[in-house]
Amino acid sequence: MPEGLSASEVGKEISEHAKHAGSHERRDRLISITEAVLLSVVALLAAWSGYAAAKWSTESRVELATASSLRIDASRADSDSGELRDFDSSTFESWFAAYIAGNKTAMRIAEHRFRPEFKVAFDAWRATKPATNPEAPRGPTSMPQYKRPGEAEAQALDERAKAAFLDGEKDGSTADKYIRLTVVLASILFLVGISTHFPYRGVRYGLIGLGIALLVLSLVQLSGLPLPPS
């Protein structure tokens, strides 16, 4: 029998080898294309996530600074309110001392110093006949007509400060979530980047698959986050 392969068998072997090599080359190109697309998408998402984190972080700092400023204003308004209440008390004490002494001139002078808002409560208190009525309130400041000056403003400022502080905390939490997402996306870039250095297709498939899984998880998390403030 003749030794070796015939010309037709050699041609067949070469054809099979060429087909096999061509199949490997196509798979290698497909892997490279997948890696390039994955790197491009993840890089864009990482840039967007970093931008959103910076915007939300800035928004948080602004809200917290606003809360601090409003608390200062509320404290100032409350202090001013206390001073006006002390003034009301001092003018009433002057009137009461003149009343006890029977000095009508001093009583008129003291009444002239009353603030208009306090005068309303004072007149209502006098109408209760406190000299003869044991059930009468102890003084004008105990009357429902008396409204502590500046108290409503101080409370409103304090409520605004609380709301701004809560918004600041919420915005800070959103910024932290975007930062965590950016770290995950950076990890995907690392995994896909090192996959190109492995000659074994199985390793590259595994790293690309892990990167795609992390990308899907990142997209799910991204869909639940608010857009950055304008």
Confidence of residue 123 (pLDDT cuts 50, 70, 90): very high
In the block, residue with structure tokens 């000659």: 199
Residue type, 143: M
pLDDT tens-digit readout, 169-205: 999 999 999 999 999 999 998 888 887 666 667 778 7
From 17-26, 98-107, 210-219, the region with the lowest mean pLDDT: 17-26
Q: What is the DSSP string of 195-211?
A: HTT---HHHHHHHHHHH
From 22-26, 142-146, 173-177, the region with the lowest mean pLDDT: 22-26
Distances (CA, A) of 139 to 50, 97, 114, 191: 63, 13, 14, 78
Distances (CA, A) of 201 to 30, 36, 211: 11, 16, 15
Q: Is the pLDDT of residue 8 over 70?
A: no
- Residue-averaged pLDDT of the chain: 84
Can you give the residue ranges of every domain in the chain?
44-223
Residue type, 46: A
Residue 212, Cβ density class (10 Å: 0-12 exposed, 13-18 middle, ≥19 buried): middle
Task: Give the chain's end-to-end CA distance (angstroms, integer).
Answer: 85
Q: What mean pLDDT do residues 53-59 have? A: 94
pLDDT > 90 in the chain, percent: 46
Which residue from 192, 189, 179, 195 is spatially nearest to 43, judged by alpha carbons?
189
pTM of this structure: 0.67
Q: What confidence score (pLDDT) does residue 159 get?
A: 92
Q: What mean pLDDT do residues 144-172 have? A: 89
Which three-class secondary structure state does DSSP give residue 225?
coil
Q: What confidence score (pLDDT) does residue 195 get?
A: 74
Q: What mean pLDDT do residues 32-36 have? A: 81
Q: What is the DSSP string of 105-126?
A: HHHHHHHHTS-HHHHHHHHHHH
Q: What confidence score (pLDDT) does residue 28 get?
A: 67
